Amino acid sequence: MLCLLDAETGVLRWINCGHPPPLLIRAERVLTGVLDSPPQPPLGLALELAPAARQVHETALEPGDRVLLYTDGVVEARDRDGAEFGLDRFTDFIIRSTASGQRPAEALRLLIHDILDHQRNQLRDDATIVLFEWRPQRR
> In the CATH hierarchy, which top-level class contains the domain 2-133?
alpha beta
What span, in angstroms and rounded, lies between the C-alpha atoms of 112 and 104?
12
Residues contacting residue 41 through CB under 8 Å, at least 6 positions apart: 17, 18, 49, 50, 51
What does the CA dihedral 72, 78, 84, 89 come to, rounded to 10 degrees? -80
pLDDT tens, position by position, 119-131 = 988 877 888 899 9
Residue 83 has pLDDT above 90, yes or no: yes
pLDDT tens, position by position, 24-78: 999 989 998 999 988 787 777 666 666 677 889 999 999 999 999 998 889 999 9
Residue 62's pLDDT is 97
Spatial contact of 37 and 50, defined as CB atoms under 8 Å apart: no
| pLDDT given at position 67 | 95
Whether the pLDDT of residue 79 is over 80: the answer is: yes
For position 49, what pLDDT does the model report?
Answer: 67
The domain locations on the chain are 2-133
SS3 of the chain: helix, strand, coil, percent, to 5: 25, 20, 55
